Amino acid sequence: MDQKKNAMECVLCGYTASGKFVGDICPQCGLTYWRCSSCSFIITSPNPPEICPECGQECDFKNITCYTPDCGGPGNIDPRL
Protein backbone atom coordinates (compact mmCIF):
# COMPACT_ATOMS: atom_id res chain seq x y z
CA MET A 1 0.00 0.00 0.00
CA ASP A 2 1.27 3.47 -0.86
CA GLN A 3 2.26 5.26 2.36
CA LYS A 4 1.83 8.69 0.76
CA LYS A 5 -1.81 7.85 -0.04
CA ASN A 6 -2.57 7.23 3.66
CA ALA A 7 -0.72 10.33 4.88
CA MET A 8 -2.69 13.37 6.01
CA GLU A 9 -1.53 16.97 5.74
CA CYS A 10 -3.27 19.92 7.33
CA VAL A 11 -4.18 22.56 4.76
CA LEU A 12 -3.74 25.37 7.29
CA CYS A 13 -0.57 24.66 9.25
CA GLY A 14 1.11 21.97 7.10
CA TYR A 15 1.30 19.40 9.92
CA THR A 16 1.70 15.93 8.42
CA ALA A 17 1.07 12.46 9.79
CA SER A 18 1.66 9.03 8.27
CA GLY A 19 -1.98 8.06 8.96
CA LYS A 20 -5.31 9.71 9.69
CA PHE A 21 -5.61 12.44 12.29
CA VAL A 22 -7.58 11.29 15.34
CA GLY A 23 -11.15 12.36 14.63
CA ASP A 24 -9.85 13.74 11.31
CA ILE A 25 -9.00 17.02 13.06
CA CYS A 26 -5.45 18.36 12.92
CA PRO A 27 -3.84 17.88 16.34
CA GLN A 28 -1.68 20.96 15.84
CA CYS A 29 -4.19 23.65 14.83
CA GLY A 30 -7.63 22.07 15.43
CA LEU A 31 -9.38 22.87 12.16
CA THR A 32 -13.18 22.98 11.98
CA TYR A 33 -15.56 20.93 9.78
CA TRP A 34 -18.04 22.88 7.63
CA ARG A 35 -20.96 21.50 5.55
CA CYS A 36 -22.31 23.31 2.50
CA SER A 37 -26.01 24.11 2.84
CA SER A 38 -26.56 23.53 -0.86
CA CYS A 39 -24.72 20.33 -1.81
CA SER A 40 -23.67 18.97 1.64
CA PHE A 41 -19.97 19.05 0.69
CA ILE A 42 -17.75 18.85 3.79
CA ILE A 43 -14.60 20.93 4.06
CA THR A 44 -12.07 21.22 6.86
CA SER A 45 -10.68 24.71 7.40
CA PRO A 46 -10.41 27.35 10.12
CA ASN A 47 -13.20 29.37 8.46
CA PRO A 48 -15.82 28.47 5.86
CA PRO A 49 -15.21 29.57 2.27
CA GLU A 50 -17.44 32.13 0.58
CA ILE A 51 -17.83 29.93 -2.52
CA CYS A 52 -18.27 26.17 -2.18
CA PRO A 53 -15.39 24.37 -3.91
CA GLU A 54 -17.72 21.49 -4.83
CA CYS A 55 -20.85 23.16 -6.28
CA GLY A 56 -19.34 26.58 -7.05
CA GLN A 57 -22.22 28.42 -5.37
CA GLU A 58 -22.19 31.10 -2.69
CA CYS A 59 -23.58 28.97 0.15
CA ASP A 60 -24.05 29.09 3.87
CA PHE A 61 -21.75 26.69 5.70
CA LYS A 62 -22.79 25.04 8.95
CA ASN A 63 -20.21 24.17 11.60
CA ILE A 64 -20.49 20.38 11.96
CA THR A 65 -17.40 19.83 14.10
CA CYS A 66 -18.10 17.22 16.71
CA TYR A 67 -17.07 18.11 20.23
CA THR A 68 -17.93 14.79 21.86
CA PRO A 69 -15.67 11.72 21.84
CA ASP A 70 -18.25 9.44 20.17
CA CYS A 71 -18.15 11.21 16.81
CA GLY A 72 -15.89 13.18 14.52
CA GLY A 73 -14.64 13.19 10.98
CA PRO A 74 -16.50 12.88 7.66
CA GLY A 75 -17.62 9.30 8.23
CA ASN A 76 -18.85 9.85 11.76
CA ILE A 77 -20.56 13.25 11.95
CA ASP A 78 -23.13 13.74 14.69
CA PRO A 79 -26.51 13.34 12.92
CA ARG A 80 -27.96 16.17 15.03
CA LEU A 81 -25.65 18.55 13.21
In the chain, domain spans: 3-76
CA distance 6 to 56: 28
Taking a C-beta distance cutoff of 8 angstroms, is the pair 50, 36 a contact?
no
Mean pLDDT by 10 residues, the chain (81 residues): 58 74 73 86 85 92 71 63 63
The residues near 15 (Cβ < 8 Å, ≥ 6 apart) are 9, 26, 27, 28, 29
Tell me what pLDDT residue 1 has.
41
44 φψ region: left (φ > 0), alpha (ψ -120 to 50), beta (else): beta
Residue (of 30, 36, 26) closest to 64 by Cα position = 36
- Rg (C-alpha) for the chain, rounded Å, is 13
